[in-house]
Amino acid sequence: MSPPPLEVPKGLHWFKPRTAPGYHELRDVDGHVVGTLRFLPAPAITWGFTDRRPARCEAGSSHWNLSIERKGLSGFFGASATVLIDDGRTGIMKAGAFFSTAVLSLTSGRRLRWKGSVFEGAPCTFVDDNGSPLVRINSGSFFTRVNGTVDVQPQAADMSEWPLLVILALYLRLLMNRVWD
């Protein structure tokens, strides 16, 4: 039997502290840190195509390692990529052109779709098979250091994976260059 899902805090938003490059905090309406996303150091010599953008993520007692895998010519030109969650042990996400669409397949058997937007100010959303929104990330503000606000819909609040979806939403927006790092 799986543990009950974490309660969804009110007023979720991704915040970028000034003192920590490559580090982002998921905060609630009261400013309490409820999750983090931290990019791991890149190798001394790297090339954009081979840079896996490894990140360590935490929310509550859960934690994940994220990385990108690009293969072939389509990967080289940004037409496809795979996001590995814990090297594929927790799940994989097959992404299309510039991470604007993707299918997330979790080892639990759940499959979700990512609908990213390349337009400024437009939200990006995880949806279920019926197209119902589960988690939406909206644009933030450079001036307040908020990378984006997050809406977790009631049907997603009952899912144990909602914290992972919130973290993946920021990770993908960073990869799409839709959020400043």
Which CA distances in Å does 175 have to 97, 159, 161? 12, 25, 21
User: Given a cut of 50, is residue 1 above it in pLDDT?
Assistant: no
Greatest CA separation for the chain: 46
- Token representation of residue 55: 């990140």
- Min mean pLDDT across 26-30, 73-77, 116-120 is at 73-77
Q: Are 160 and 5 in contact (CB under 8 A)?
A: yes
Note the Cα 175 to chain centre separation in Å. 9
Average pLDDT over residues 118-129: 86
- Looking up tokens 């119902």 gives 132
| pLDDT at residue 99, rounded to an integer | 82
Query: Would you say residue 3 has pLDDT above 80?
Result: no
pLDDT the model gives residue 82: 87
pLDDT for the residue numbered 177: 72
The 10s digit of each residue's pLDDT in 48-99 is 545 568 899 999 889 999 998 887 666 666 667 889 999 999 999 998 887 8
Of 151, 110, 109, 122, nearest to 134 by C-alpha is 151
Tell me the per-residue pLDDT of 124-166, one tens digit each, with 9 for 90 and over. Answer: 999 999 999 999 999 888 888 899 999 999 999 889 899 999 9
Q: What average pLDDT does the chain have?
A: 86
The candidate with the shortest Cα–Cα distance to 90, out of 64, 129, 70, is: 64
Q: Between residues 150 and 121, which one has the greater pLDDT?
A: 150
CA atoms within 13 Å, Cβ hemisphere of 120:
2
